[in-house]
Structure 1
């Protein structure tokens, strides 16, 4: 049973590593949003593809004369075009993902420690619950904030003011990209970790309690 528990706890190390990889990928990739665009003046001849992450992205626009690519600087857009995204939701999303990454790192480190040594306050069962639950809720926060961002801003527009002035529109042509779903995957990984920790600690072997009379009887026998 002791080896079973250690093995289960060590399994959460791999779960945390998966979560770390997914969160790093979500920060490094540029597909939190994927969208198409059309020009209202010539919708059948124009086409646009837009994708961006939390910090940068790319847009390809075709006005019927060929494709042209442009880089998107999200921080610049937030500064000079405040209606592009809700700044508080964007900042909250970035903060939650970074917090989830930090707690995932701690969960991985202390899972390895707990599998190799005896329990302590922050590397034992309470600590493993703490780091995984904190990361789980940080991930949930990032998901909730970006979904709110989508329904309040992204689904209506992902284009700059310059593009809007040139009669481009992305209304109802945007969707959540795979970078966002990486965070969902990290959330699932930590939820599974929490379940594993619970299972690993739910079947602890309980030492039998010897009644006091039986202990005295056994003691008397030993004297004889």
Structure 2
């Protein structure tokens, strides 16, 4: 009866782990980590005084870890553009761009870095640039969270249908892999929040848009793809809690393992 109850709890751990991995993969695949409703301030002031349409000179942007979509309305209808991340390891920065030619993207990035280095007042984000370190760290920790989540799922299946002998394949392993998945999913959340707070919430527009009056400051927010990772972290946390209630002890003792050895085996 006790063994059946433990298997039931481990099955719950498997379900929570599977749900957490699914949420993290969905976060990778969707382009809604941030959303923004930028506006062109100078033109909006002119519209107000002249009675222009309030929908003119407004836009919306959604962006994921690698790409996004931007629609800006200059007064003649929205213009949809697909924007992607272009990074430079040597400069340690990334930018948003709608260019497709790799040579032009590199030249644009180098020019923005040069413009930033030639002044001392404006911040990196004012040039449409953001931290490469925080961006790539978010991706790496998110990927590691998925990997450890998958490992936890495999070990949960093994504990449900098999008879683990090694300590690492039993309770210790279940605690370890779920704990690592929890840690890395939380790190991914914290790193992206750091990236968001350090600049993205101030500007998500390329410099050429900023130069003609567009602004996204105070109009940019975290979107549902980010909260999928928060949900994944919660799912892995529930996995650990379920393990605690299952009665499985986190122990390095091999006494239970030795009981499962085949009769007659000589232990040295």
1:56 is aligned to 67
Runs of 5+ unmatched residues, structure 2: 45-53, 88-93, 96-105, 114-123, 250-268
* Range 120-129 or range 172-181, more displaced: 120-129
Paired residues in the alignment total 203
Helix, strand or coil at the partner of 1:9 = helix
Look up the SS of the partner of 2:18 in the other structure.
Answer: helix
**Which residue of structure 1 lines up, in the alignment, with residue 147 of structure 2?**
102
Per-residue Cα deviation, 1:113-154 (whole angstroms, up to 9, x for no partner)? 011122333321100111111010101111111111111111
Q: SS of the counterpart of 2:32?
A: coil
Matches of 1:25 and 1:123 in 2, distance apart? Answer: 28
Alignment partner of 1:114 is 2:159: yes
CA displacement 1:163-216 (0-9 Å, x = unmatched) = 11221100110000100000000000000000011111259xxxxxxxxxxxxx
> Are 1:27 and 2:28 an aligned pair?
yes
Preserved CA contact (<8 Å) 1:110 1:122: no
Q: Deviations over 1:50-99 (max 9, x none)?
A: 11100000100001111100111113553725642211111110011000
Indicate whether 1:152 and 2:198 are aligned: yes
Q: Does 1:176 align with 2:187?
A: no
| Alignment-derived partner of residue 264 in structure 2 | none
TM-score for both structures, normalised by structure 2 = 0.72
3-state SS, counterpart of residue 64 of structure 1: coil
Q: TM-score, normalised by structure 1?
A: 0.86
CA distance in structure 1 between the partners assigned to 2:248 and 2:233 by the alignment: 23
1:65 aligns with 2:76: yes
Contact 1:5–1:200 (Cα < 8 Å) also in 2:
yes
5+ residue gaps in structure 1? 204-224
Alignment of 1:120-159 (within 5 A): 120-159=166-205
Is the CA contact 2:171–2:248 (under 8 Å) kept in the aligned structure 1?
no
